Structure 1
Amino acid sequence: MADTTETRGKRAKWNATRIPDLTGRTAVVTGANSGIGFAAARALAGAGAHVVFAVRDLARGGAAAARVNGSTEVRRLDLADLDSVREFAAGWDRPLDLLINNAGVMMLPEQRTRQGFEMQFGTNHLGHFALTNLLLPHVTDRVVTVASSAHRMGGAIHFEDVNLRGKYSPARAYAQSKLANLLFTLELQRRLTAAGSAVRAVAAHPGWAATNLQSRAGNPLARVFMQAGNKFLAQDDTAGALPTLFAATQDLPGAAYVGPDGLAGMRGAPALVGRSAAASDPAAARRLWTLSEELTGVRWPLGTTVR
């Protein structure tokens, strides 16, 4: 179909009511107890999917799931602990249509995961890297990883020390973790294609969505700035979840990246968007994959050697 003013207008109106019927399908949403993860889980369940709330706190996850109309269950998953990731994956024994790598931490004071990795890189990237590879033999449709336009602030992955020892700043670490999300998606799709798999890897970012992530920034000035942005610039978490839902349910090419189409990518209707040159570098994506296998001990699971 030609990209006319009429068709652009139709795309601009895309919202959760246009999600297709998902009856009989299963989705895992990490971090589904709040924010855009909860909004995405609620919309998927409303469309008929069975949604698994993969959350660190079972009580909070259960309270969130109780607010959703539809089929849900709650399972414990702490992405900052690779033992928890392995336990979650080991307990999975059925087909999984949608894996939505949504959970994340943002601009924290310097701290470490259970295995000693910098918390933002360890949670946002390594936890989801391990989870995806461990669950991939069960995945039937696609993997959606939630990135951020902040990936553009990262420059490049600090391969010499991804833990940023002596060079840590909350913003630098967050940007690196979100750049890693996009490079992971790029290399995952390359590997899926090479293996002859029909599964697709795609990414999305919510723009500026008002969630509780911003309240945890390590820098007090950053907290003030982001709280003001939440009030005057941000869209709510329901709108912020739309790019994730679009990426999860629409017919998109592998490695596609979805985000809001208006106001400098901070808000608007979901659409295909661009990414930085650093996030499009296949050599960096392969190098990151190799490093991530070494750090997590989790390997490519589909049995096909990928070069």
Structure 2
Amino acid sequence: EEFSVRAILGKHPRVEEVRQFVRRVADIPRPTVLLLGESGTGKNLVARAIHYSSPHSQGRFVEINCSALPSQLLEAELFGYQKGAFTDARESKRGLIEVADSGTLFLDEIGDLPPELQAKLLNFLESRQFRRLGGTEEIEVSQRLVTATNRDLEDAVRKGDFRADLFYRISVATHSLPALRDIKGDLPLLANHFRDVFNAEFRKEVAQISAKALEVLSDWDWPGNVRELRNVIERAMIFADSTELQVSDLPELGTVDIGGSTQADHGDAFPIPKGIALTDVEKEYIQHTLADCDGSVQRTAETLGISRKNLWEKRKKYGLLD
């Protein structure tokens, strides 16, 4: 039940609306879904709930953060490539679109998709066929597409930053997720849920959160939303040394890394020289991101939009393990 509809916690009417939306779209075979909301509002959780509640649940749930990789790497990750497509492409590789066949493809932060890839994605959605980089074969796949963004896509369309035809194609079923500050009545429930999670992970027996601590938490505006609350409770649980979480256990609010750092946040911090091999770009980008995240594997994986296991495999491949 980790990713079922029941995993979407909260008693607020807006949270119930999210659960109802998941149930409705999950039962329909293949609508494209667009999830809107600020960073940290749980778009990934909702995307997984749609997948695991749908007929596609026997297939794979495959995700990628469209803002976490340079354009060249993102195209190769999505569409795959044939042997010899570029320097060092010594073997063919399936892209995530192909891997997600019969399952669900989740494109997070689709508002940051580069223009050239917007056109290529639109062509795929219209035909359900694509070619790997360097390939000539038309590959046909069938999966559900779920997208998400924290940007105002309608405004991006007006400004010419996002294709109108792609926007209409991905927004067949759209829902906006509430910010934590708008559902503050659910904060105690969510905070205690995370207390249970970290009790199990850290093998602790913190039975409750004090009323004063909950009051302090409720007074905060939570710009990082549920992700920030989770990180705050995690840090508090690390240092808790009694059966009740106290105000003194809480970190200073506003100082906890709320995650969600992306390539877009860094602007031109990672320029890509012309002519460099794609594999070399990936290696350097992983090194760059690791350094940017002070060596934190968890933060690096989140920034790159990949799992810790996937990051470990890539570091092993490029000789980047300590």
**TM-score by structure 2 length?**
0.29
Bigger radius of gyration among the two: 2
Tell me which protein shows more strand as a share of its residues.
Answer: 1
